[in-house]
Amino acid sequence: MRKIAAIGAVLLWSTIAFAQDRTITVASTTSTEQSGLFGYLLPLFARDEGIEVKVVAVGTGQALDIGRRGDADVVFVHDRPAEDKFMSEGQGVKRFDVMYNDFVIVGPKSDPAKIADHKDVAEALRRIAQVKAPFISRGDKSGTHAAELRLWKEAGVDIAAGKDSWYREIGQGMGPALNMASSSNAYLLSDRGTWLSFKNRGELAILTEGDKRLFNQYGVMLVNPATHSNVKAKEGQAFIDWLVSPKGQDAIAGYKVGGEQLFFPNASH
């Protein structure tokens, strides 16, 4: 009986170890999580590959830092300059385009800065600054925050001068930033995916969209196992391969909210 129990214990331990080995950690952005995309994609991936994915949803800067520490197997983010830096440091194996959407400026329907339907995002931001209309910034070193800072620079606006008056950094993700903007009737830059899945809109509406500078590309990278020996390279690469495969790309295209597609696959095969 002891021998049978011992064999059973070994088999149980092996099953647990196998299950643990078939789980990966993906450091990603709040937009992929809060838009509902992962809730849709990951069960499909688990069904196809038998690998469970644990997501750590933070800003892109934090996600890349998690990868640098070796605390994730894969990073899935949206700030190309920061991604290129990550790769140049030898922290990633190879970067793949996965999908894109775009950023939009949302704000109160009363639109005190008069930016509605203005296609030039730099001019829209200048108008917001000129009238000192309330603006909520994520301020969290995310991909969205990095894009926002680049756009203010292109607009020639020194946002440091506006802090503590009309410009407010909250150091939080896209969902909390949208809630803050809704409650205070403020402007902000949002990715379209999170906006489309956001329910607490209040008086907010999309006011500026369509400028090519609002393009928002997402990329995925395996954390370098040569730098971090604990990285589950086989399982992590399986996730990446699935995302950029026709099956994964079709799944991304199939995710919709209210009939609207949130992300557009563009992996090159």
Each residue's pLDDT expressed in tens, for the chain with a length of 269 residues: 544 444 444 444 444 444 456 899 999 998 899 899 999 999 999 999 999 999 999 999 999 999 999 999 999 999 999 999 999 999 999 999 999 999 999 999 999 999 997 789 999 999 999 999 999 999 999 999 999 999 999 999 999 887 778 999 999 999 999 999 999 999 999 999 999 989 999 999 999 999 999 999 999 999 999 999 999 999 999 999 999 999 999 999 999 999 999 999 999 75
Contact indicator for 77, 60 with CB cutoff of 8 Å? yes
Q: Tell me the domain boundaries of the chain.
A: 2-101+218-265, 102-214
252-256 LR contacts (CB < 8 Å, sep 24+): 252/37, 252/41, 252/98, 252/99, 255/36, 255/37, 255/40, 255/41
Contact indicator for 197, 257 with CB cutoff of 8 Å? yes
C-alpha radius of gyration, the chain, whole number = 21
Q: What is the pLDDT at residue 154? A: 96
Amino acid at 9: A
Q: What is the pLDDT at residue 265? A: 98
- 95 - beta bridge partners? 221
Instruction: Name the DSSP letter for residue 213.
Output: G
Burial 75-110 (b: 16+ CB within 10 A, else e): bbbbbbebbeebbeeebbbebbebbebbbbbbbbee
Reading the block at residue 135, the tokens are: 């603006």
Contact indicator for 192, 101 with CB cutoff of 8 Å? yes
Within this chain, domains 2-101+218-265 and 102-214 share the same CATH topology: yes
Q: How far apart are CA 195 and CA 266, in angstroms?
A: 21
Q: What is the pLDDT at residue 85? A: 97
Q: What is the pLDDT at residue 21? A: 67
Q: What is the pLDDT at residue 268? A: 79
Look up the pTM and report it: 0.86
Q: What is the pLDDT at residue 161? A: 82
Strand 52-58 relative to strand 23-29, pairing: parallel
2-101+218-265 has which CATH code?
3.40.190.10
Nearest alpha-carbon partner for 156 in 121, 204, 195, 200: 121
102-214 has which CATH code?
3.40.190.10
Nearest alpha-carbon partner for 56 in 47, 66, 45: 66
Contact indicator for 202, 86 with CB cutoff of 8 Å? no
